[in-house]
Amino acid sequence: MTQQTVLSDTEITEALTELPEWERSGDNLVRTTRAATFPAGIELVRRVAAAAEVADHHPDIDIRWRTIRFALSTHSAGGITPLDVALAHEIDRLITQSS
């Protein structure tokens, strides 16, 4: 993986204008969503895991019944990078597909 540069506060704020379901929480981009059923939530996580593997960039995922929380940060860079923004867009796309 190529070394990533941490985005500035302004760049993160700008990125979030295109990611309305996401918010910044410290050094993470965070989104919570609800699936129709527990199996549908697990399937969404499986699809996100496959996309994350392709991107070689992996979110923290918390599953609580039908509620799934995704947190993105580039730990090796110490904050939010373009990798996180790109994966947030992909997660949004997958959530939309599963609805």
Has residue 3 been placed in a domain? no
| Secondary structure tally for the chain: helices H, strands E | 3, 4
CB 10 within 8 A of CB 84: no
Tell me, what's the pLDDT at 99?
Answer: 73
**pLDDT tens-digit readout, 30-76:** 999 999 999 999 999 999 999 999 999 999 999 999 999 999 999 89
Report the run of H or E that residue 82 belongs to, with start and end.
helix 82-98
Predicted local distance difference test score (pLDDT) of residue 2:
61
Within a domain: 79: yes
CATH number at residue 44: 3.30.1360.20
Q: Is the pLDDT of residue 1 over 60?
A: no
- Say how far apart CA 60 and CA 28 lie, in whole Å: 10
**What is the predicted pLDDT for the residue at 4?**
84
6 pLDDT more than 90: yes
Q: Are 86 and 72 in contact (CB under 8 A)?
A: no
- Domain range for residue 52? 9-98
Whether 4 is in a domain gets the answer: no
Calpha distance 81→85 (Å, rounded): 7
Q: Mean of the per-residue pLDDT values for the chain? A: 95
